[in-house]
Amino acid sequence: MTIRLATLLLAAFVTLAPVQPLSGQASQDERRISDPPELRRNLRRILGDVPMTATDTMHQDIVDRLDFDSYKELVRGLTQFGDREQGTARNAAAIDWIEDQLRGWGYETERVHYMYTPRGSETPEPREEVFATKIGTTSPDEMYIIGAHMDGRGGGEAANDDGSGTALVMEIARVLSAADIESDRSIRFALWNNEETGLNGARAYVEQRADMQGIEDPPGSGRYPEPRWMGMIQHDMMMWDHGNPVTFEQALDADVDVEFQLASGMAAESAQLGLALINANRMHASDYPAVLSNAMSNTDSTPFMDLTPSVSLRENRRLYETGNGANPHWHQTTDLFETFSDRDFMLGFNAGQTTLGALTKLAGIQIGK
Ligand SMILES: [Zn+2]
């Protein structure tokens, strides 16, 4: 497909999509000045045509605080450390950098320490990963975890796998750090390490902390080091949906893939969490739709899936699309910041709108109380 044809098709699609002028909404959409206009497909509420209540509109105001350029800059910041492969100095420096950003937004951070035995070795080595928490005001003992893995491989910059998910989680953390935003329930931002070696960082988290859930420590303090898990939302490879066979540009039917695992102990609850994300996408995402399917695999939500509702968000279904060559940059030296166009970044950004939109409802996020 030529560039000209793709542009015409895109223009035709935008032209044919009927704009639904809902009262009070036009001005709100116009305020989204951080989105470069040439990238906008203006699909908000057209796919879903969801009427919005006053609370929905307040949630939209929160989602609108996500900033496209900030998201891109966070991906760029992560790529300065190359592929961040576990066990390297680049990986350790990236963890420090992520922690510095989270602290800069006012969060206290913590690290999970665990041992990992590299392949071909018999000597366990220490590894670390960092998380931060927005503490709930009315239910600090209940928590949603949103995660992405900060390690990568392939010798490039691991920009998409998984700088794109890591930056998404960090951008949501940045927005929720604002002094006028409160959340009823706690929200944890987890940047896993050692995903590429077999989900070792997320597994260590589950092993160390599952039994700590909901325990007040010290008693009477109102502090919960591990609030009870209400759900886990993972983000892993967010930007590239160019069809298969692969085309040069984001496909016209590009979407955010929400996956849960049918063969898990919490399949029904995970499907419900997935639907909450689909509905949030219909209401709050600006340019790309989301779809739900049931074969979540090979990502850090897997160690959680028998214990709490668990889903992953991706650019493609992991087994049927990614696993069949839908992303030629996966684990390659070409997984570089400069490989991806603004339309690619916009797909990742829409996944961020989807997750934050869902969290506003699930966790009870509000502005200025
Ligand atoms: Zn990944």
Structure tokens at 232: 């886990």
Per-residue pLDDT band for 368 (boundaries 50, 70, 90) equals confident
Count Cβ atoms below 10 Å from residue 96 Cβ, excluding itself. 12
66-113 pLDDT per residue, tens: 999 999 999 999 999 999 999 999 999 999 999 999 999 999 999 999
Whether the predicted pLDDT of 15 surpasses 50: no
Residue carrying structure tokens 């944890």? 188
Q: What is the pTM of this model?
A: 0.89
Separation of CA 338 and ligand 1 centre (Å): 19
Residue 187 has pLDDT above 80, yes or no: yes
Cα–Cα distance for residue pair 187/100, rounded to 1 Å: 19
Whole-angstrom distance, CA of residue 100 vs CA of residue 98: 5
Q: Which helix (H) or strand (E) holds 175?
A: helix 164-176
Q: Which residue type is seen at 142?
A: E
Identify the residue with better confidence: 290 or 3: 290
For ligand 1, the distance from its centroid to the CA atom of residue 340, given in whole angstroms, is: 16
Rg (CA), the chain: 20
Q: Which domains does the chain have, with CATH numbers?
A: 24-211+224-364 (3.40.630.10)
Tens digits of residue pLDDT in 140-173: 999 999 999 999 999 999 999 999 999 999 999 9
Q: How high is the mean pLDDT of the chain? A: 90
How many residues would you count in the chain?
369
**Which has the closest alpha carbon to 282: 295, 273, 291, 293?**
291
- Give the Cα separation of 110 and 10 in Å (integer): 45
Burial 266-278 (b: 16+ CB within 10 A, else e): bbebbbebbebbb
Residue 167 and residue 75: Cα distance in Å, rounded?
5
Residue 301's pLDDT band (boundaries 50, 70, 90)?
Answer: very high
Mean pLDDT, residues 128-134: 98
Higher-confidence residue: 205 or 47? 205
- Angstrom CA distances, 295 to 58, 258, 267, 354, stand at 34, 10, 10, 20
**9 vs 7: CA distance, rounded Å:** 5
pLDDT, tens only, 17-73:
333 434 444 344 444 445 555 666 666 655 666 788 999 999 999 999 999 999 999
**Centre of ligand 1 from the C-alpha of residue 28, in Å:** 34
Residue 3 has what pLDDT?
Answer: 45
Which pair of structure tokens corresponds to residue 341?
A: 């166009």
- Ligand 1 centre to CA of 299 (Å) is 7
Q: What is the mean pLDDT of residues 113-140?
A: 97
Measure 231 CA to ligand 1 centroid, in angstroms.
20
Residue 71: name the closest of 354, 355, 342 by CA.
342
State in Å: Cα 27 to ligand 1 middle: 38
Question: Beta strands 256-259 and 310-314: pairing type?
Answer: antiparallel
Report the 10 Å Cβ neighbour count for 57. 12
pLDDT level of residue 13 (50, 70, 90 thresholds): very low
273 to each of 126, 211, 267, 293, how far by Cα in Å?
34, 23, 10, 12
Distance from C-alpha of 197 to C-alpha of 205, rounded to nearest angstrom: 15
Q: Measured in angstroms, how far is the CA atom of residue 236 from the centroid of ligand 1?
A: 5
Distance 222 CA to ligand 1 centre (A): 36
Give the pLDDT of residue 30. Answer: 44
Neighbours of 322 (CB within 10 A): 22
Quick one: what percent of the chain has pLDDT higher than 70? 86
Q: How far is the CA of 315 from the centre of ligand 1 (A)?
A: 11
**Are 118 and 87 a contacting pair, CB within 8 Å?**
yes
If you measure from the C-alpha of residue 149 to the centroid of ligand 1, how many angstroms do you get, rounded to a whole number? Answer: 7
Identify the pLDDT of residue 170.
99
